[in-house]
Structure 1
Amino acid sequence: MINFLHLKNQFDSFDGIKIVSFINQERSILVLFDFDAKVAINGANFLIDHQIHLEIPINYPNELPIVFESGEKKIKNFPHINPDNKGTFCLGTELDIRRKMRPDYSLSKYISIIAEFLGTYEYYNKYKVFPYGDRTHGNLGILETYKEIFNVTIIQQVLNLMEVDKLKNKFRNKKCPCNSGLKIKNCHWSTLDTILSDPLEHAQMRKDYILLKGR
Structure 2
Amino acid sequence: MPTIEPLTLTLDELAQRWNMTPQQVLETPHTLPMYFYFDGLVFDFNDKWHRANGDAAVQQTLEAHKTRYSTLEIDLQRQAMHKRGLLKLTQWEEALSDDEIHAQQAESDRLTEEIAQLSEQLKQRAEERQRRVRNGLLRAAPRTLHDIAERGQTRFPQFAYMPHTPNKADSSIADGAVVALEDGFPLKETLTLTDLVAAMQDVRAIEDSAAF
TMscore range, shorter length: under 0.3
Query: Would you tell me which structure has more helix in proportion to its own residues?
Result: 2
Q: Which has the higher contact order (CA 8 A, sep 6+)?
A: 2
- Computing the radius of gyration over CA atoms, which structure comes out larger, 1 or 2? 2
